[in-house]
Structure 1
Amino acid sequence: MSQDEYFSVHAHLKINVEVLGETEHVPSDVEFGREIPLAFRIASQCGDLDNSVEKEIQVLAHEDGHALAKFLQAQNEKINLLLGFMLSQQDDPTIRYQTETFGASSLTFIAKQAFQKGQHVRLKLFLENPPSAIYCYGSVYGCKEKNGKYAVGVKYIRLQEDDRDVLIRAALHQQQKLLRQRALERNN
């Protein structure tokens, strides 16, 4: 599947966007793998572990192990709270923005200043569901003025495949949330 085939959803994620300096470059795949901060690696590994045992916990909950499943779920929530706190320490308020849309291939955000097409940026994305954070690089593909501010589009150019999967799950979660909300509005 090419990157252009992923859909985007309208949702507000907290992100950090840092423009690369003149002496900086987008790292190679190998350099990128080494550069990812430890907190983001841990978040990715925790997310992988959550996904691998989620179905087993659900099966356990439906069988006689309801109390054990409830205990395991509580432990998982505690770990997610600690992970969320650890990741919040990675957020830099001086370069914080909020997405308008995001998907597994690109995102858009609103900025007070214009970004240049082709400009390379270092990104940190902070997700609530699934609870995670993603470290990646992107390239500005567009910047349009919008009500005195700028809508900036960024295409990912260095992103781990596991993190792309997390973005797909997050986008699907947002889409399901929207569909449930519309169903409730129709019923009222």
Structure 2
Amino acid sequence: MSQEQYFSVHAHLKINVEELGDGEQVPSEVEFGREIPVAFRIASQCGDIDSSVEKEIHALRHDDGHALSKYLIAQNEKINLLLGFMLAQQDNPKLRYQTETFGASSLTFIAKKAFQKGQHIRLKLFLENPPSAIYCYGSVYGCKEKNGKYAVGMKYIRLQEEDRDVLIRAALHQQQKLLRQRALERDN
């Protein structure tokens, strides 16, 4: 699937945006793999494990394993809480922004200063559902002034495929949430 085929949703994710310094370049794929901080590797692996056993846990609910299913879900929630705490330590308030939109190929955010088209950025994305964090690199594709601030568009240029899958699941979750909200509003 090409990057243009992924959809974006309007949602506010906490992100860290770090401009690359003078002489700093986007790492190669191999260097990028080695550079990813341990906390982000663990988050990615936990997300892979969660998605691979999700169907089995739901199957237990319908069988005689309802108590076991509840126990496993509770254990998973505890691990996610600890993981969330660990990942929160990776958030730098000085580099914090919030997305306007995000998807599996790009994101947009509002900044107080302009970014240059083609500028390379180190990104950290913090997701609530699924609970995870993503470490990647992006390139600015656009920057427009908007009410004295700047709407910055960025496409991912270094992103693990597992993390792209997490972004797809997070975007789908946001879309489902919006659809449920609209259905409730229609019913009222």
Give the secondary structure class of the aligned counterpart of 1:64: coil
Work out the CA distance in 2 between the residues paired with 1:26 and 1:136.
Answer: 10
Tell me the residue number matched to 2:180.
180
Q: What SS class does the counterpart of residue 31 from structure 2 fall into?
A: helix
Whole-angstrom CA distance in 1 between matches of 2:9 and 2:60: 33
1:74 and 2:107 correspond: no
Task: Look up the match of 2:23.
Answer: 23
**Runs of 4+ with deviation above 3 angstroms:** none
Matched residue type, 1:121: I
- The residue number in structure 2 matching 1:167 is 167
Per-residue CA deviation, residues 25-82 of structure 1 (Å, 9 max, x unaligned), is 0000000000000000000000000011111011111111111110000000000000
2:12 is matched by which residue type in structure 1? H
Which residue type is aligned with residue 138 of structure 2? G
SS at match of 1:60: helix
In structure 2, C-alpha distance between the alignment counterparts of 1:94 and 1:103, rounded to whole Å: 24
- Paired with 1:88 and 1:130, the residues of 2 have a C-alpha distance of 15
List alignment gaps of at least 5 residues for structure 1: none
Q: How much has 1:177 moved relative to structure 2?
A: 0.4
Residue matched to 1:6: 6
1:14 aligned partner, one-letter code: K
Alpha-carbon distance, 1:22 to partner? 1.2
**Aligned residue pairs: how many?**
188
Aligned partners of 1:68, 1:7: CA distance in 2, in Å?
Answer: 37
Cα deviation 1:130-173 (Å, max 9, x = unaligned): 00000000000000000110000000000000000000000000
Paired residues for 1:125-136 under 5 Å:
125-136=125-136
SS in 2 for 1:25: coil
TM-score of the superposition, structure 1-length normalised?
0.99
- Tell me the distance in 2 between the aligned counterparts of 1:101 and 1:140: 14
Distance 1:115 1:95 in 2: 14
Give the aligned partner of residue 46 of structure 1. Answer: 46
- Following the alignment from structure 2 to structure 1, what is the Cα–Cα distance between the partners of residues 50 and 165? 13
Q: How many Å apart are 1:23 and its aligned residue?
A: 1.2
Query: Deviation digits for residues 86-114 of structure 1, max 9, x if unmatched?
Result: 00000000000000000000000000011
In the other structure, the counterpart of 2:100 is 100
Q: Separation in 1 of the partners of 2:138 and 2:99?
A: 14
Percent of aligned pairs with the same residue?
Answer: 86
Match of 1:20, as an amino acid? L
In the other structure, the counterpart of 1:90 is 90
CA shift for structure 1 position 8:
0.4
Which amino acid in structure 2 is aligned with residue 22 of structure 1?
D
Shift of 1:84: 0.1
Question: Does residue 120 in structure 1 map to residue 130 in structure 2?
Answer: no
Opposite residue 92 of structure 1, the aligned amino acid is N
